[in-house]
């Protein structure tokens, strides 16, 4: 039977998406990108899914980059399509309506780092390693790395990482605020699933609006971002969950969310 490049599993309210090419350290080839896109659609359509978790199969890697065999065959024309395809998938992740958590369980290099940067939250195991080694291959990041890393870590850190191709470990990534937390390898999935459990108790539509408002902070000047925030805040106050959440607080009981 043909091996699937992506495994999809429901664990409680989480959709766990595992990139499954361990023999290639989960390198992103075109079938991974296609199946990842389709797994995201499954998670999006499932109302029981509160958050998506992306991780890598095997002991060594989250994702060790875009597939170098595919990259070696690119020319000026096909490279643009190649980059835009990856960018569009990672943009979809960044703007996803449900929380997306990268559970970084090993090497996250090149396209693997770029995938992690596109997720809303990154939790890393102690053995995780991050880097943008594209300059070692005579290319630059093409799946959003130059843009997202510069926004996440600032210009100096992004420049150093991208033009040296250096790898940094999980603790260093934490000190640069590139990851939210670092845990022992055995604790990675329990920690991520605990976070998903916490989120599943919150008003789902409010979570979605909050993700949208935070995204505006990365896309827009602050004054425009403020306008987006006040519009989304107003929208949240028109929901039945707003009535339920505030009433439940005043009645000293747990809210029962409608998701609208």
Nearest distance, CB of residue 206 and ligand COA, angstroms: 38
Torsion of CA 88, 92, 93, 98, to 10 degrees: 180
**Judged by CB, which is closer to ligand COA: 83, or 183?**
83
Q: In whole angstroms, what separates CA 67 from the centre of its chain?
A: 19
**Judged by CB, which is closer to ligand COA: 107, or 257?**
107
Nearest distance, CB of residue 86 and ligand COA, angstroms: 10
Q: What is the distance between the alpha carbons of residues 194 and 99, in angstroms, rounded to a whole number?
A: 13
First vs last C-alpha separation in the chain: 43
**Judged by CB, which is closer to ligand COA: 8, or 82?**
82
List 94, 134, 229, 241, residue binding ligand COA (CB under 6 A): 134
User: Is 164 among the residues that bind ligand COA (CB under 6 A)?
Assistant: no
Nearest distance, CB of residue 110 and ligand COA, angstroms: 3
**Judged by CB, which is closer to ligand COA: 15, or 33?**
33
User: Is 24 among the residues that bind ligand COA (CB under 6 A)?
Assistant: yes
Among all residues, which ones are annotated catalytic?
114, 134
**Judged by CB, which is closer to ligand COA: 137, or 210?**
137
List 25, 100, 101, 123, residue binding ligand COA (CB under 6 A): 25
Total residues in contact with ligand COA, by rule CB under 6 A: 17
Site of tokens 């990482």:
161
User: Is 69 among the residues that bind ligand COA (CB under 6 A)?
Assistant: yes
Footprint of ligand COA on residues 70-99 (CB under 6 A)?
71
Q: Produce one character per residue of 92-112: b if its CB has 16 or more CB atoms within 10 Å, e if not.
A: bbbebebbbbbbbbbbbbbbb
Nearest distance, CB of residue 235 and ligand COA, angstroms: 40
Q: What is the distance between the alpha carbons of residues 179 and 46, in angstroms, rounded to a whole number?
A: 27
Per-residue contact string for residues 101-120; x = within reach of ligand COA by CB under 6 A: ------x-xxx---------
Give bridge partners of residue 11 from the DSSP assignment: 14
Residues engaged in binding ligand COA (CB under 6 A): 24-25, 27, 64-69, 71, 107, 109-111, 133-134, 137
């Amino acid at each position: 039977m043909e091996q699937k490049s992506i495994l999809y599993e429901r664990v409680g309210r989480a959709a766990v998406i595992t990139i499954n090419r361990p023999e290639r350290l989960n390198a992103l080839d075109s079938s991974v990108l296609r199946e990842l896109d389709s797994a995201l659609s499954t998670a999006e359509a499932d109302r029981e899914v509160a958050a998506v978790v992306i991780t890598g199969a095997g002991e060594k890697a989250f994702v060790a980059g875009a597939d170098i065999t595919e990259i070696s065959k690119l020319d000026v024309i096909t490279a643009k399509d190649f980059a835009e395809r990856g960018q569009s998938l990672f943009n979809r992740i960044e703007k996803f309506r449900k929380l997306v958590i990268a559970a970084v369980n090993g090497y996250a290099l090149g396209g693997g780092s770029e995938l992690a940067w596109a997720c809303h939250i990154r939790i890393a195991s102690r053995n995780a390693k991050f880097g943008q080694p594209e300059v070692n291959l005579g290319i630059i990041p093409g799946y959003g790395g130059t843009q997202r890393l510069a926004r996440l870590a600032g210009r100096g850190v992004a420049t150093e990482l991208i033009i040296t191709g250096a790898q940094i470990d999980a603790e260093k990534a934490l000190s640069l605020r590139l990851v939210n937390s670092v845990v022992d390898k055995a604790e990675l999935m329990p920690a991520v699933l605990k976070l998903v459990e916490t989120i599943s108790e919150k008003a789902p539509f409010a979570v979605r609006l909050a993700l949208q408002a935070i995204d505006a902070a990365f896309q827009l000047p602050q004054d425009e971002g403020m306008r987006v925030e006040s519009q989304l805040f107003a929208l949240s106050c028109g929901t039945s969950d707003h009535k339920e959440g505030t009433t439940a607080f005043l009645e000293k009981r747990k809210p029962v969310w409608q998701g609208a």
